[in-house]
């Protein structure tokens, strides 16, 4: 009976110690990509880093080297969607947020987000007509009218004049 008490005490202390231990955040670099995560294993980080580097090379070949700084990919289960424009807007261009589940299932929008790093789009860079549409009317447009359908063409549906503005 005495051993059983010591065993239970050992298990309880072990669980408490494990729950209080800090998880080390690690950063894995390969070429011009850095993966920062405290939830991926080192092996997963290295593998995703190589994949991200190959995706960046695709963008370089197509777009040109318009962004030469390292791309830092933060991976976390707290992210619901992948984002590169929000960090850029906050002054952190080159930072990409990627949900853990998307990294593990290999179906995240990595190439799409890298393009945003290379060519960030801001409201200020839009032509005047589009800027006013974005600022005033997007919430009022039904989703079915935003994108062209098989019944309409892009140049008619997509012109600033074709979208009704709110009063």
CATH code for position 91: 3.30.2010.30
Considering the domain architecture, whether residues 33 and 113 belong to the same structural domain is answered as: yes
pLDDT at 25 over 80: no
Domain that includes residue 96, residue range: 26-118
Percentage of the chain lying above the pLDDT 90 cut: 41
- Terminal alpha carbon distance of the chain: 80
Q: Of 101, 118, 135, at which residue does a domain stop?
A: 118
Distances (CA, A) of 109 to 6, 95, 102, 166: 51, 14, 8, 33
Structural tokens at position 155: 């140049």
Q: Are 95 and 72 in contact (CB under 8 A)?
A: yes
Considering the domain architecture, whether residues 79 and 45 belong to the same structural domain is answered as: yes
- State how many domains the chain has: 2
Alpha-carbon distance 12 to 94, whole Å?
44
Residue with tokens 């800027």: 131
Number of Cβ within 10 Å of residue 51's Cβ equals 17
Structural tokens at position 72: 């830092």
Considering the domain architecture, whether residues 86 and 100 belong to the same structural domain is answered as: yes
Secondary structure string (H, E, C) spanning 18-82 = HHHCCCCCEEEEECCEEEEECCCCHHHHHHHHHHHHHHHHHHHHHHCCCCCCCEEEEEECCCCCC
pLDDT attached to residue 85: 86
What digits encode the pLDDT tens for the residues 42-82? 999 999 999 999 999 999 988 788 889 999 999 999 999 99
pLDDT attached to residue 130: 56
Considering the domain architecture, whether residues 100 and 137 belong to the same structural domain is answered as: no
**Whose CA is closest to 67, among 95, 35, 87, 39?**
95
Considering the domain architecture, whether residues 139 and 85 belong to the same structural domain is answered as: no
Considering the domain architecture, whether residues 101 and 83 belong to the same structural domain is answered as: yes
- Higher-confidence residue: 120 or 67? 67
Considering the domain architecture, whether residues 41 and 104 belong to the same structural domain is answered as: yes
């Amino acid at each position: 009976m005495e051993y059983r008490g010591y065993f239970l005490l050992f298990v309880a202390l072990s669980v408490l110690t494990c729950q209080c231990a800090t998880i080390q955040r690690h950063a894995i670099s390969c070429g011009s990509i850095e993966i920062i995560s405290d939830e991926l294993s080192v092996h997963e980080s290295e593998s995703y880093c190589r994949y991200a580097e190959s995706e960046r090379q695709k963008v370089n070949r197509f777009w040109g080297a318009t962004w030469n700084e390292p791309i830092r990919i933060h991976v976390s289960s707290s992210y619901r969607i992948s984002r590169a424009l929000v960090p850029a807007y906050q002054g952190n261009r080159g930072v990409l947020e990627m949900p853990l589940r998307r990294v593990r299932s290999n179906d995240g929008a990595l190439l799409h987000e890298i393009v945003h790093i290379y060519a960030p789009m801001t409201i200020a860079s839009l032509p005047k007509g589009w800027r006013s549409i974005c600022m005033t009317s997007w919430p009022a447009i039904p989703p079915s009218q935003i994108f062209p359908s098989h019944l309409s063409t892009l140049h008619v549906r997509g012109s600033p004049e074709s979208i009704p503005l709110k009063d």
